[in-house]
Amino acid sequence: MSVPVLEVDGLNAWYGDAQILFELSLEVRKGEAVALVGPNGAGKSTTMKAVMGLVRRSARRLLFEGRDISSLPTYRIARLGIGYVPEDRRIFTDLTVAENLDIAARSSAEARDAPVWSRETLFELFPNLARMQDRRGSAMSGGEQQMLSMARALVSNPQLLILDEPSEGVAPIIVEQMIHALRALKASGLSILISEQNYAVCEALCNRSYVIEQGEMRWNGEIGDLRQRSNQSSAFSSD
Ligand SMILES: Nc1ncnc2c1ncn2[C@@H]1O[C@H](COP(=O)(O)OP(=O)(O)OP(=O)(O)O)[C@@H](O)[C@H]1O
C-alpha cells in the first residue's frame, strides 16, 4: 500500500460560532484519487478549506507528507505542495489564458524551484486551452475556466491536487475532457482529493470515497461500493 500524502484525524471546523465539521477523519495516499461526496451543505467545501487553513479549525492530526500543517498559513501549505482549485475558480477574468498561466508561473518561481509544468506541457494536458491562449477568462465557459484554474494550480508542481466540485454546471463534453486530464495526472503519480456530486466522475477517476453528511463522516469505502451506498442516501445528483 502506498504512503499517505494527506492524513486528517479528528477535524472540526467553524464559521464564527457555528460548528460545521465534527471529528472528520480521512486519508489520501500517494497516487490515488479520493472522492468526497455528500448532499449540498454537507461540509465538503469546508473540509477542503479546513485542510488549506482557510477556515477556523482544530484537528488531532493534520499531516501533509508526514508534516504537521495544522498551524501553517494557507500560502505555506500551498507551497509545500498542495494545489487547491476552489469552487469559484479564482482566475483573472480580465486576463487571457496565457497571461493567467504566466502569473501563476511567476509567483511559483518566486516560491520554489522552477516549475515542472511548462506552458507546453499544460497545453498537452488541456488541448482546448491551447486553442484559446489569447482569450480572456471572462469569455470562457465555466468548464473552460475550471480547466484554466486546474492548469494554474499545476504550475506550482503540487503533489496533491484538491478540487472542489469541478464538474458542477459544466457541459458533459468538457467534463469528459476534465476526467481525461485528471486521469493522466493521477497516472503520473499525483494524488487527488475531489469533492463531487456526479457519480460518473467519481467512478471514472477515483479509487475510494468518503461520504459526508451534516459535517460528519458517514461512510468510506471502495469506489465500486459507492453506487449502492448512494442509492440509500441523497448524496448524489442524478447523472
Ligand atoms: N462562509 C460561511 N459562513 C457561514 N456558514 C457557511 C459558510 N460557508 C458555508 N457555510 C455553511 O456550512 C455548511 C457546509 O457548507 P459547505 O459549503 O462546506 O457544504 P458542501 O458540502 O460543500 O455543499 P455544496 O455541495 O452545496 O457546495 C452549510 O450549512 C453552509 O450553509
Protein residue whose Cα sits closest to atom 7 of ligand 1? 15
- Structure confidence by residue, pLDDT tens digits, 128-181: 899 998 999 888 988 889 899 999 889 878 999 999 999 888 889 889 999 999
Q: How far is the CA of 165 from the centre of ligand 1 (A)?
A: 13
* 49, amino acid identity: K
Q: What is the pLDDT of residue 234?
A: 53
- Dihedral sign, CA of 220, 209, 40, 57? positive
Q: What is the pLDDT of residue 33?
A: 97
Specify the higher pLDDT residue, 191 or 157: 191
Q: Is the pLDDT of residue 238 over 50?
A: no
CA geometry: angle at 14 spanning 10 and 15, to 5°?
160
Q: How far is the CA of 122 from the centre of ligand 1 (A)?
A: 32
CA distance 87 to 66: 27
Pocket-forming residues, ligand 1, beta carbon under 6 Å: 15, 20, 38, 40-46
- ipTM for the predicted complex comes to 0.95
- Structure confidence by residue, pLDDT tens digits, 101-114: 887 777 665 555 55
**What CATH superfamily is the domain 4-231?**
P-loop containing nucleotide triphosphate hydrolases (3.40.50.300)
Q: How far is the CA of 41 from the centre of ligand 1 (A)?
A: 5
Q: Which of 11, 12, 14, 20 to mutate to test the pocket of ligand 1 (most atoms within 8 A of CB)?
A: 20
Grid-cell match 497545453, residue found: 123
- Per-domain residue ranges for the chain? 4-231
Average pLDDT over residues 81-90: 86
